[in-house]
Every structure is written in C-alpha cells, then in structure tokens.
C-alpha cells in the first residue's frame, strides 16, 4: 500500500476531488482526517468511507480560512493519530466575475479560503512534520493558476498565489524532509464546475461542452486528480518537490 500507516489531513474533503482523494488514501492504507466546514457533512463522509472501505477516518467540522479552525483540525489529527505525514490543502471556492464586477467581499472570501487556509494549515503542520523528520504537502492549484482565464480574476489570482507559495514552502522546508507540491486540475466533473455555470448564467450543456475543449477532448474525473495527489503524497514521488503538476487533459499545453 502506497500510504500504509500514514496519517493524513484532507481539507475540502466532502467535495468531488476531496472525497475521491479520501477514497484513494484510505484504500492505500492511510488514516485520514476529513475536513469540511459542516460537521454533519464531515461525519457523513467519515461514515460513508468506513462503510465502503473500512480503515480509520474521522470527520472534523472547521472553517480552515480561520486560525481557530485550522488549529482545531491539527489538534484533532494529533489527538487521534499522533502526527501528520500528509497534508492535502484542497478546500477552495470560485467566484466568476471580472475586476469591475467582483465585490470586495467575494474577493476577500476567495483569498481567505484558497490562500489564507493553505498558509494557516502549513504554518501549523510544518513544525509537526519537521519534528517527525518530514512529510508531504500537496496544495490544490488550478490550470488557471498557471495561465489566465476569463471572468475569474479572484480565482486566477488566488491559485497563482497557491502555486508560487508552494514553491516557496518547498525551498524553505526541503532541508527538514518536507516535500511540497501543487496539483493543478483542469475542468473536472464536480459540483463546483456546475456552480460556475450557474454563476455565469450559462447554459449548462454548452458550458460542459466548452470545458471538454482540450487535447483529450473531455473533462477530467475526480479520481484522476486523486491519483495524482496520491502519487505526490507517497514515497513514489520521493524526489519531487516544488513542482506544479498540471492534470488537465492537455489544457495548459
């Protein structure tokens, strides 16, 4: 098993990519803290994982855009498992608008969830990993963290920040045995993608057809993103750090 005995935290665990990654981690032997803003959803997911796969997982309800929320998550991980070997910073939101039309409140919330949460979780987890001799951190970027995109200025800016913050973390904490990488999905078949169509007032079928306009001629599946995260979390990628891995069907190409 690629993660046999590893202790992991997944934020945004109830989402499409988060839940697919939870399944992949548990199948590969990890013990997992499943984080969602809503404690009920987190508990439901943990129960679902237990019934489907067995293993050892626990749901934690917390807003990881806040310091108290992140501290709660890490404290629960330490109390339950005694350490953290893998951190998947996956919580994220999108607001589709250009610079003229996005509100200051939406800009701030996108940066709080997409950037501040990564900073706070790493601030708390890095010392835990360093004391144990190392670990692996994976941050969810986006194809739009590597290139620009229309009507998504806050999202593009936040994901660009995640990608470059990942590089800085890798440089600072590589000597402590901590690898830090970003996975950068293209359009993936999740509820969040459908929410984008709603925000834009777009026809859903047309929106999804446009999302498939890439060299592989289709959208991604959550399990395909999860497979990349699993590889980055595992020792199979032991010499990989500071990487921004596109998993996008060739979209950024």
Which residues carry out catalysis?
155
CA 127 → CA 84, 102, 105, 122, distances in Å? Answer: 10, 37, 32, 9
Render pLDDT for 60-76 as a digit per residue (tens, 0 to 9). Answer: 999 999 999 999 999 99
Q: Which pLDDT score, from 0 to 100, does residue 200 have?
A: 94
pTM of the predicted model over 0.85:
yes
Name, in order, each residue with C-beta under 8 angstroms of 95's C-beta and a sequence gap of 6 or more. 102, 106, 107, 109, 110, 152, 154, 155, 199
Render pLDDT for 105-164 as a digit per residue (tens, 0 to 9). Answer: 999 999 999 999 999 999 999 999 999 999 999 999 999 999 999 999 999 999 999 999
Can you give the residue ranges of every domain in the chain? 7-186+221-239
Angle at CA 120, nearest 5°, toward 117 and 123? 145
pLDDT, average across residues 185-189: 96
Q: Which pLDDT score, from 0 to 100, does residue 24 have?
A: 98
CB 253 within 8 A of CB 144: no
Q: How confident is the model at residue 205 (pLDDT cuts 50, 70, 90)?
A: very high
Q: Which pLDDT score, from 0 to 100, does residue 231 have?
A: 98
Q: Which pLDDT score, from 0 to 100, does residue 184 have?
A: 98
pLDDT, average across residues 230-235: 98
Q: Which pLDDT score, from 0 to 100, does residue 26 have?
A: 98
User: In CATH, which superfamily holds the domain spanning 7-186+221-239?
Assistant: NAD(P)-binding Rossmann-like Domain (3.40.50.720)
Render pLDDT for 27-37 as a digit per residue (tens, 0 to 9). Answer: 999 999 999 99
pLDDT, average across residues 186-210: 94
Q: Which pLDDT score, from 0 to 100, does residue 132 have?
A: 98
* Burial group, residue 48, by CB count within 10 angstroms (0-12, 13-18, 19+): middle
């Amino acid at each position: 098993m690629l993660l046999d005995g590893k202790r992991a935290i997944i934020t945004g665990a109830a989402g499409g990519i988060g839940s697919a990654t939870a399944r992949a981690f548990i199948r590969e032997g990890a013990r997992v803290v499943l984080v969602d803003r809503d404690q009920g959803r987190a508990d439901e997911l943990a129960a679902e994982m237990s019934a489907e796969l067995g293993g050892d997982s626990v749901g934690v309800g917390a807003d990881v855009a806040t310091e108290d929320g992140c501290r709660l998550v890490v404290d629960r991980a330490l109390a339950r498992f005694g350490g953290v070997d893998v951190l998947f910073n996956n919580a994220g939101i999108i607001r589709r608008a250009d610079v003229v039309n996005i509100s200051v409140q939406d800009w701030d919330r996108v940066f709080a969830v997409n950037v501040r949460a990564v900073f706070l979780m790493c601030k708390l987890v890095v010392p835990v990993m360093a004391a144990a001799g190392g670990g692996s951190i994976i941050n969810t970027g986006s194809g739009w963290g590597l290139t620009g995109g229309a009507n998504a200025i806050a999202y593009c800016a936040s994901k660009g920040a995640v990608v470059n913050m990942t590089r800085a973390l890798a440089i600072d904490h590589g000597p402590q045995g901590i690898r830090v990488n970003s996975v950068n999905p293209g359009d993936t078949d999740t509820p969040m993608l459908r929410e984008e169509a709603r925000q834009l007032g777009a026809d859903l079928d047309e929106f999804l057809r446009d999302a498939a306009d890439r060299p592989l001629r289709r959208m991604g599946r959550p399990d395909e993103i999860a497979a990349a995260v699993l590889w980055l979390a595992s020792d199979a990628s032991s010499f990989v750090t500071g990487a921004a891995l596109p998993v996008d069907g060739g979209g950024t190409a």
